[in-house]
Amino acid sequence: MTKKKKALITGITGFAGSHLAELLLRESVDVYGIQRWRSKTENMEDIKDKVKIEEADLLDAHSLYSVIDKIKPDYIFHLAAQSFVQSSWASPTQTLEVNIIGTAHLFEAVRKTDLPITIQIACSSEEYGKVLPNEVPIKETNPLRPLSPYAVSKLAMDYLGYQYHESYNMNIIRTRGFNHTGPRRGEVFAESSFAKQIAEIEKGKREPVVHVGNLEAQRDYTDVRDMVRAYYLSVQKCEPGEVYNIATGTAWRINDVLKLLISMSKVKVEIKSDPARMRPSDVEILIGNNSKFVKQTGWQPEIRFEKTMEDLLNYWRENV
């Protein structure tokens, strides 16, 4: 009988991390995760007895080394981050510290153990930043023109992955995920915020007004369950050191996402623009070319965006 693989997920308490843990458990992988003492664990409600959790912080190199040396995982999925673009304007250095220094701590910890671990790092389409109309769908070779401290942090993490592979031959797979969403998506993100507000209006918990930010931006949305399937394929089939876009290749304007969610509800709502939800410089259009990743792994997105939004709205209906 082949030995069960062990996977360590940083960011297991988060949105994508919790979905990835569920997938890996279904695939009979032994799942480990790290969390901080104050981490919220409600995303792991259904799996808390099936995963093994250790306490560690990206900003504490020693804690990472201890956990990795103890578990000796085959795979590390590095999803932990300050993941919200908007917050990176409010506290840029905190974002840079967690996402860059934290990743360097992780790589150094793995290097010190000298174990042949395959590490997937969750880089982001935000790294492309300012994209010209003739550059979509965006290939991995597109220039990176980051437009937020978050994007800079992810770009640096991405290139740290490249450098540690080149310098130390570490098995680091760099995935540039485009937007992904679905149940448990953080309420600070546009589509999740809309869905939550609609669910609250349905229950009479707020006045019938949906507050919105930039409705003109276009985003390439993958269902989170398709995204984590892509992450798992990446550690099995992708080339270390290489970078791969994970995207559907189609875009939704945020305004259309809002209209879609409203059409799924019976309530009548007013839409109100909120200046606090606007960014100093926004990325207008992100559509990914996924052909490199599809060729390498055979991955295809399976869940339609309408279904993703329905599941997100139902998630909030159960949770407000």
Q: Smaller CB distance to ligand NDP: residue 179 or 197?
A: 179
Residue with tokens 């309408």: 306
Taking Cα atoms as reference points, which of 195, 202, 219, 188 lies closest to residue 288? 219
Q: Smaller CB distance to ligand NDP: residue 81 or 199?
A: 81
Q: Smaller CB distance to ligand NDP: residue 117 or 246?
A: 246
Compose the 100-139 pattern: x for residues touching ligand NDP by CB under 6 A, - for all others. Answer: --x-------------------x-x---------------
Classify burial at 69, counting beta carbons within 10 Å of its beta carbon; exposed 0-12, middle 13-18, buried 19 or more. Answer: middle
Q: Minimum CB separation from ligand NDP for residue 223, in Å?
A: 11
Q: Smaller CB distance to ligand NDP: residue 153 or 202?
A: 153
Structure tokens at 306: 């309408």
Q: Smaller CB distance to ligand NDP: residue 16 or 294?
A: 16
Q: What letter would DSSP give residue 145? A: B
Return left, alpha or beta for 281; rule: phi > 0 is left, psi -120 to 50 is alpha, else beta: beta
Q: Smaller CB distance to ligand NDP: residue 269 or 283?
A: 283
The reply on whether position 14 binds ligand NDP by CB under 6 A is yes
List Cα–Cα distances, 214 to 16, 40, 79, 190, 252, in angstroms: 24, 29, 26, 9, 13
Compose the 266-285 pattern: x for residues touching ligand NDP by CB under 6 A, - for all others. Answer: --------------------
The reply on whether position 83 binds ligand NDP by CB under 6 A is yes
- 258 touches 195 (CB < 8 A): no
Return left, alpha or beta for 7; rule: phi > 0 is left, psi -120 to 50 is alpha, else beta: beta
Compose the 60-79 pattern: x for residues touching ligand NDP by CB under 6 A, - for all others. Answer: -------------------x
- List contacts with ligand NDP (CB under 6 A): 10-11, 13-17, 35-36, 39-40, 57-59, 79-83, 98, 102, 122, 124, 177, 179-180, 186
